[in-house]
Amino acid sequence: MQTPRWLKNVFTFYRDGFKNMTVGKTLWAIVIIKLFIMFVVLKVFFFPNFLNSKFATDREKAEFVSSELIDRSTVNPSNFDKDN
């Protein structure tokens, strides 16, 4: 089957555009390095999702967050003692 003409034109458009970049090549390199650092290094090693790493279900997460919201209240006497 023959490749449609419009598809060829789109491919040529992008191929030529990328091929003839000069500043753009440097920028693309920076973008790729930046995204690698962000998603592969920072996200994986330093920014795990706190709740996802501890709990498997939404139910468990809801229970945990509820307990956090309740336990950090100043109604809890231990909190009053600590700050006052």
Partner 1 sequence: MELLSTSLVDWSRAQFALTAMYHWLFVPLTPGLGVIQAILETIYVKTGKEEWKKAAKFWMTIFGINFAIGVATGIILEFQFGTNWSNYSYFVGDIFGAPLAIEGIVAFFMEATFISIMFFGWNKVSKGVHLAATWLTITGATLSALWILVANAWMQLPIGMEFNPLTARNEMVDFWAIISSPVAINKFFHAVISGWIQGSLFVIGISAWYILKKREIDFAKKSIRIAAIFGTISTVLIIATGHGSAQQVSYHQPMKLAVMEGLYEGQEGAPLIAMGIVNPKKESYKDDKEGVIMAMRLPKMLSWIAFGDADHYVPGIRNIIEGGYTKPDGTVALSFEEKQKMGQTAQIALSNFKKAEAAKDTAAMAEHKAVLDANYKNFGYGYLTSPEQSIPNVPLVFYSFHLMVILGGAFLLIFIVAMYMEWKDMLSKYNWLLWIFILFIPLGYLAGQLGWIVAEVGRQPWTIQDILPVQAAISGLQTSSVVITFVLFAVLFTGLLIAEIGIMVKQIKKGPKIENQLSETKDSVR
What residues make contact with partner 1 under the rule CB under 8 A? 13-14, 16-24, 26-28, 30-31, 34-35, 37-38, 42-43, 46-52, 58, 61-63, 65-76, 78-80, 82-84
Residue linked to tokens 């950090």: 72
Q: Tokens in use for 59?
A: 């139910």
Report the alpha-carbon distance of residue 20 to residue 16 in Å, rounded: 6
No. of H helices and E strands in the chain?
Answer: 5, 0
Residue 3 or 50 having the CB closest to partner 1: 50
* Cβ nearer to partner 1, comparing 4 with 77: 77
Q: Toward partner 1, which CB reaches closer, 1 or 59? A: 59
